Amino acid sequence: MSLKTEESRPVILLTDPIHPDAHALLQEQAQVLEVPQNLSPVEADKALRVLIQRADAIIVRRRLPNDIFEEANRLRAVVRHGAGVDIIPVDRATHRGIPVANIPGGNANSVAEFAIAGMLAISRRLADFDSEVRKLKWRSIRASASSRSVELRGKSLGIIGFGQIGKRVCEIARDGFGMDVRVNTSTPARLPGHVPYMSVEELISVSDFLVLCCPLTPNTRGMINASVLSHAKKGLVLVNVSRGAVINEADMISALESGWLGGAVLDVFETEPLPPDSALRKHPHVLLTPHLAGITRDSDRVLGLTAVDIAMRLLRGETHANVVNL
When computed from its CA atoms, the radius of gyration of the chain, rounded to whole angstroms, is: 22
The residues near 97 (Cβ < 8 Å, ≥ 6 apart) are: none
For 221-288, the DSSP string reads TT-BSHHHHTTPPTTEEEEE-S-GGGB-HHHHHHHHHHTSEEEEEES--SSSSPPTT-GGGG-TTEEE
d(CA 238, CA 200): 13
Which CA distances in Å does 315 have to 14, 56, 76?
15, 8, 6
Which CA distances in Å does 307 have to 130, 312, 326?
39, 9, 18
d(CA 38, CA 52): 18
Catalytically active residues are: 243, 272, 291
CB 209 within 8 A of CB 237: yes
Q: Is 299 helix (H, G, I), strand (E, B) or coil?
A: helix
Helix (H) or strand (E) holding 302: helix 297-315
